[in-house]
Amino acid sequence: MRGDARSYAAARKERAADVDRWLTGLFRTASPAPRDRDGKNGGDGGGGTGGARSGHSFTGAPGGRPPYAGAGLALVAVGSLGRGDLAPGSDLDLVLLHDGQDEVAGVADRLWYPIWDSGLGLDHSVRTVEEAVTVAREDLKAVLGLIQARHVAGDPELTRAAREAVLADWRSDARRRLAELREAAGKRAESSGELAFLLEPDLRDSRGGLRDVQAMQAVAAAWVASAPGPRVREAHELLLDVRHALHLVTARGADRLVLQEQDAVAAALGLLDAEALMRRLAEAGRTVAHALDSTWRTVDRLLTGPAPRGRRPLADGVVEHGGEVVLARGVTPRTDPVLVLRVAAAAAGSGLPMAPATVALLAAQSPPMPVPWPAEARDALVALLGAGRAAVPVWEELDQAGVIVRLIPDWERVRHRPQRNPVHRFTVDRHLIETAAGAASFTREVSRPDLLLIAALLHDIGKGWPGDHSTTGEVVARDIGARMGLPPADVGVLATVVRHHLLLPETATRRDLDDPVTISRVAEAVGTREVLELLSALAVADGNATGPAAWNAWKASLVSDLVRRVRSVLAGSPPAPAPVLSPRQASLARHGGGAVRVHGGAVTVVAPDRPGLLWRAAGVLAAHRMVVRAASAASAAATAVIEFSVSPEYGAPPDPATLEADLRLVLAGRLDIEQRLARRSRSMRPTRVPVAPPRVNLVDDASLTATVVEVRAHDRPGLLWRIGRAFGECNLDVRAARVETLGAEAVDVFYVVDRSGRPLTDAAQRAQVRGQVLAALR
C-alpha cells in the first residue's frame, strides 16, 4: 500500500508521543522516591533504591510545590526526538539533567539499560545545568541539540534553566558561534556533496539536507536572521518524508538514499518512479541550499560589520546599496519587462547578490516579456551569462523565484530533471547554466560570443522531450531563438550548434581521424568556420560542466586535432568588410566641414578626416556616460563620417545640446577629454568578477590597403576610447572601423595604416601595436 506524506508526518508525531510516554514511565520507575519535609521516604518511589544526598531539601520550587518522584532531575530530549520528527529508524538523544544528586548515576543506569535492551540506538549524557551550559559553550553539536531541547519528564524548571542559559550564551557569543556553525556546514558540504545533484544523496548531511535546515533554525535562535520560510518548511517536510520512507523500506536508520532503494521509496511515497522522486528531492535540496546561502549573507553582515552606505549606480534603474543589488528610487518593474534581466546582469557583472526583497518585487510585478524579445533583453541575457561563474548564483536566484520559466517556458521541462548516471554532476538545468558559465571563458575564441553563450544555455534543452535530445533540442532551440528575437540567420546557427553539440567529442573518440571521409563528413555537417569554432568552445565547456569522467586531457587533445583538420577543409571566414558610406552618409560627407547630430540613440559625427577622430569622439560619449553599442567609421576623400549607436549607462540620457557642444569642442581641439575620463576612471570601483582576458589579432589577408586589427574584450566604459588612444600612441590612423557590443562582449574590427598610409609590415611595429592595445584593455 502506497504511503501518504501527511500520514508520515502524523506518524512521526505519534511515534514521538509514544516514546515520550514510554520514557516518562521509565523515568518514574528509575527515579528515587519522594521525601517528606523531614527527609524521610514518603513512599516506595516507584522502585527507587536510594535516598537523596545528605542535607538535600525537596521542598520544591518557590511557591510551595509539593515534592515528587524525580525532583531535582529532568529527562530532556534533543536531536530528532527533541524536534518531534522521529523517523522509524532514528536513534534517541537524551540528556539527564540533575541538581547535583549523588544517586543520579543509579537513575541513569535504570534509564539507559531498558532503552538499550529495546534495541533502540541511544546517545546519552548526564549533566548538571551548569555542566550542560559549559559543554554547550565549546561543543557545537551539544549547543545545537540544547537550543531545540524538549522537556520529557521530571523537573521542568531544570529544563527551562538549561535552555535559557544555553540560548543566552548562544546569542551573546553569536559572532564566534555562527562563524563556527558556518565552517562546520561548509566542511559537511565538502565531504557529503550537494543533495540536489547527487546520484545517491545523504538526506541529513548533504548540502541542502536536514542539517542545513537545523543550521538555519540555529541562526534564527541567535536573533540574527528570520526563521526558515514556508518554502523551506515545505522542502524540509519532504526531506523528512523521504527519510521516513527510506527507514521503512530498509528497516534500518539509513540516511543515504542509494540507487537500489529509490524505486521502493518512490512507491512508498506514492510517486510514479525514482526519477519523479529524485526530481522532487532536487527541488527541495536546492530550495534549502538557496535559503541557507541567503542566511549566510545575513550572518556575514553581522560578522563583517555594516555595509558601505550610499548608492552606487550599476545600470539603468539598478544600484548597489548595502552590498546588494536593488532598484533605484522610483523605479518600478510594472512597465519595464527587461528590468529583471538588467538587474540580473548588473548583479552578475558586479559580483553582488540581488536583495531578496528586490527579487520578490521583480517576480511579482514584472510584466511578460514581449515576443519577440527586444534587443535590450537579449543583450542583458548575454551579459548575465558572460559573467561566468558569477552568473550561476544569480540564475539560481531567478529560478527559485519562478522568473526563468516565465522568460523561457521550455525551461520547465528540464528544471530539476535528474541525469541519473554517474557521469553527470548536475541536474539538467544546473548543467546548462554551468556550461554557459564555462563558455564565458571562450568568448574571445569565437566571432559570435552571444551565440556561444545562448547555445551553451540551450544545448541540452531537448532532454525535456522524448527521443534523441540533440534532434528535439534543435527544434526547441529554433523556437526559443525566434522567441528571443534573433535574426533568422542567427536562429539557424543556434539550431545547428544545438543539433551537433556532441559531434566533435563523439567523432574524435569513436572515429579514425586519419580517414578523409571522417573529416569531410564533419565539415559537411558543420558547414562554416563560424559554427566550427562555436562547437569547439561548447565541447570544452560542456565536458567540463559534465564532470571529470566526461572530459580530460586525452579527449581535449583529440577534439583539438579534429578541429584543426576540419578547419583546413572549410573556407575561411574573413572579418566583416570595411564599412562604406551609405548614400545618406555620402551626402553628408560632400558638404565637408564639420557636423554633429544627436538624435535619440544615434550620434553622427562628420568632420575632416584626421588621426584620433574616432577615439576622441568615443571619449566624449564615455564622459557623458553613454555606452557605445555599435559604431562604424568610413571616409570619402578628406571627410570622415562616424555613426554611433549609443544608450545611457543608467538614468536619463544626457542633454543632446550639451553632448553636441562637447563633441564640437573636442573636434576643434578645445576640450581635454582625456583628463575628464581620467577623473571618472579613478572614481570607478574595479570589478570583482573575473572575465576572459582580451584578445588582439592582426589579420593580413583581409585587406590590400590596410592592416585589420580584431579586438575582442569585455566591454566597459571608455573601451573604444582606450583602443583608439593606443592606436594613436603607435602613430596609426584608423581608416575604417566596425564596432559591435554583444551583451557585455566587444567584438571590434579596425582598418589601420601607418602615418604614410600603408599597412603594417614591420614585425616589431606589429608586436608593438598588439602589446599597446592589450595594455590599454587591461
pLDDT at 70: 61
Strand, coil or helix: 423 = coil
Among 45-49, 98-102, 215-219, 515-519, name the one with the lowest average pLDDT.
Answer: 45-49
Q: What is the pTM of this model?
A: 0.86
Average pLDDT over residues 773-778: 90
pLDDT at 63: 39
Record: fold of 5-172:
Beta Polymerase; domain 2 (3.30.460)
Contact (Cβ atoms closer than 8 angstroms) between residue 498 and residue 479: no
Domain 583-777 falls under CATH 3.30.70.260: yes
pLDDT at 45: 37
Strands 695-699 and 707-714: antiparallel
The per-residue pLDDT of the chain, averaged, comes to 89
**Residue for cell digits 527586444?**
374
Average pLDDT over residues 449-454: 97
Burial class, 119, CB count within 10 angstroms (exposed 0-12 / middle 13-18 / buried 19+): exposed
Rounded CA gap, 250 and 262, in Å?
Answer: 11
Residue 574 banded pLDDT, cuts 50, 70, 90: low
- State the Cα torsion 682-683-684-686 to the nearest 10°: 60
Identify which of 291-305, 552-566, 654-668 has the greatest average pLDDT: 552-566
Rounded CA gap, 69 and 153, in Å?
Answer: 10
Which grid coordinates are listed for 508? 574524435
Record: fold of 175-304:
Four Helix Bundle (Hemerythrin (Met), subunit A) (1.20.120)
List phi, psi (to 5°) of 654. Answer: -70, 160
The CATH 3.30.70.260 domain(s) of the chain lie at: 583-777
Beta strands in 24-154 (DSSP E): 73-78, 92-98, 122-128, 150-154
The residue type at 162: A
pLDDT at 351: 93
The CATH 1.20.120.330 domain(s) of the chain lie at: 175-304
Please give the full DSSP string across 654-684, using - where no structure is assigned.
Answer: PPHHHHHHHHHHHHTT---HHHHHHHHHHHS
Percent with pLDDT over 70 in the chain: 92
List phi, psi (to 5°) of 354. Answer: -80, 140
Give the pLDDT confidence of 452-505 residue by residue, as tens digits: 999 999 999 999 899 999 999 999 999 999 999 999 999 999 999 999 999 999
Print burial letters for 735-769: b (CB count within 10 Å at least 16), e (below 16): bbbbbbbbbbbbbbbbbbbbeeeebbeeeeebebb
558: pLDDT strictly greater than 80:
yes
Residue 17 banded pLDDT, cuts 50, 70, 90: very high
pLDDT at 591: 66
